Amino acid sequence: MDAQSLIAKRIAQELRDGMLVNLGIGIPTLVANFVPKGIHVFFQSENGLIGTGPVPEPGMALPWLTDAGGKPVTALPGASTFDSAMSFGLIRGGHLDLTVLGGLQVDQHGRLANWMVPGKMVPGMGGAMDLVAGAKRVIVAMQHTAKGRPKIVRECSLPLTSDRQVDLVVTELAVIGFPEGRATLLETAEGVSVDEVLAATEADLAVHHGLTKTDGERPTPESVPTSSIGETV
């Protein structure tokens, strides 16, 4: 399984029955392909659709049915469409249980930068700022490094999307939480060592005493105390 699919599959484990969930463009859209059996969630696209399904199979895409990034999606039976004002009313009104967003950088206190790279053309900030501010829970889906450079950093060099702390960062190497505002390694992917994660991370990263592999039972982030980089907590 490729890195993006591994990330999406792990995030799908965070879904709970009945949730209203926004999936951002990029890796987050893949989460809809890995919904656990017996779990029924409502996926929302900020351009005005509740009830998005998996990415359509080749040849089955409809040009008028897209996600916020303009890429094809499917609609499940009972899906509803509405205008942008209603969509952002749901987001800003605190009705989203979870949002999954891509990321350019996350700092060691859980602050996300994901909407622009200075000097490069940007079509707009989209709904990222609203989503981070309005959703009850925020998960960042991104690869651990870009061109060999860590994306989990001490301090973001790119413009912040929000000053709010995200709840989880899921990469192809690890799951990182931010209990008490401190980056903490909660899980490593199968075949990945703690040392590999630390080497690929610029941020000071504590290691949870109940560290598990991705498919194992996960520790509760709220119970994690702080410690120095690389120390078990």
* CA proximity to 150, closest of 173, 179, 168: 173
Active site residues: 46
Separation CA 175–CA 173 (nearest Å): 7
Residue with tokens 């990029």: 26
Specify whether the CB–CB gap between 139 and 31 falls below 8 A: no
Separation CA 88–CA 126 (nearest Å): 11
- How many Cβ atoms are within 10 Å of 224's Cβ, its own excluded? 22
Separation CA 169–CA 141 (nearest Å): 6
